[in-house]
Amino acid sequence: MDFARHNPRLFHVTHRTALDSIRAHGLLPTAALATGTPTTRNRNAWTPAPAPDGTTAWLRWQNMPEDPIATRLHPAIPPAAWRLFINSMVFLFASEADARRLAASPRDADRD
């Protein structure tokens, strides 16, 4: 209850072309959107993936290159397993400023 009271609005970063699909199906994690697309590799750019409804889902770039992320994980957790875990979730921001900061990323200019 405290979380809802302190954060009455949550923000999600996506591209405007995803809005119709989100309205129809709700927010889906990458793992649900990327049917047939591996979700264990780092995405260096926006990546098209066939969505379950026959449209194209655009998967946001990630900043999880192999070497740096491997040094931050427990030795028993390979980067591919971490990405699989991360890609099974939907990310929301409690702060509009944080969401805008991510949306203003230079890598997002390709999808305008």
Residue 81 pLDDT > 80 = yes
For residues 61 and 87, the model is more confident at 87
pTM reported for the whole predicted model: 0.73
- Confidence at 97, pLDDT banded by 50, 70, 90: very high
Identify the CA nearest to 60 among candidates 89, 80, 36.
Answer: 89
Tens of pLDDT, residue by residue over 6-60, are: 889 999 988 777 888 888 888 889 888 877 667 788 888 888 877 777 777 778 8
Distance CA 90, CA 110 (A): 22
What the block records as the tokens of 100 is: 């805008």
CA distance 40 to 36: 12
Instruction: Report yes or no: 62 and 80 within 8 Å, Cβ to Cβ.
Output: no
The span from the CA of 60 to the CA of 49, in Å, is: 11
Domain spans, the chain: 2-111
Assess contact for 27 and 12: CB atoms under 8 A.
yes
User: 110 pLDDT exceeds 60?
Assistant: no
